[in-house]
Chains A and B, each alone.
Chain A
Amino acid sequence: EPEVTQTPSHQVTQMGQEVILRCVPISNHLYFYWYRQILGQKVEFLVSFYNNEISEKSEIFDDQFSVERPDGSNFTLKIRSTKLEDSAMYFCASTIGGHGYTFGSGTRLTVV
């Protein structure tokens, strides 16, 4: 069964550093998403991406965040200057449209 692949599975970074989280969505999917889950809290929507541009973003997704689909297969989330409160599990997801949604296994980001 097709999977959404995320790398790395765990990343530790120092406060103020830039991080890039990587995702390979399912190949024929058209919509791509990033969600995050702070430990012990709900999964929260960050951003959706369609047709090579951001289609919707949440209040969390401020100027420190950016997304890119650089080569038609990878989908990345960049955090420019990490803060302690950015520590969370970050999930990538993709869908062909409609109701089918597949999540990756997540990247655990720890900011120290």
Chain B
Amino acid sequence: KNQVEQSPQSLIILEGKNCTLQCNYTVSPFSNLRWYKQDTGRGPVSLTIMTFSENTKSNGRYTATLDADTKQSSLHITASQLSDSASYICVVGPSGGYNKLIFGAGTRLAVHP
């Protein structure tokens, strides 16, 4: 069954600290992996997208890694800010079909001053 699992479920860090969020997936066949940021009550906003041939992708203070062999990805956030408080969702796009996405449950990040 196609699944996306994320850890931890929630995380509290102090402003200015770094953190790393994890994602494991069993989606097959695999086309791409995305990380989204979702504020409460809002739609997901894309942070990064990687195809199976890419190992890393950065977007400002966000750096995503992908190991397609072990089916693992991580999202590293550096120098966290209060505005980083949100849910971070790992999303996998299977190949073929019409580009539907499979979502993980997300990691809820709280950045405290």
Contact = CB atoms under 8 A, between A and B. Distances in A.
Interface of A: 4, 31, 33, 35, 41-45, 48, 50, 55-56, 89, 91, 95, 97-99, 101-106, 108
Interface of B is mostly: loop
B101 A101 contact: yes
B101 to A, nearest CB: 7
Interface residues of B, number: 22
B41 A108 contact: yes
B17 to A, nearest CB: 27
A95 B97 CA distance: 14
Nearest to B51: A99
B103 interface: yes
9 contacts: A35-B101, A42-B105, A43-B103, A45-B102, A48-B97, A48-B98, A102-B46, A103-B43, A103-B44
Given A91-B43, A99-B34, A101-B34, 5 more contacts: A56-B98, A97-B99, A98-B99, A99-B99, A104-B43
Contacts of B100: 33, 45, 48, 56
A33 B91 CA distance: 15
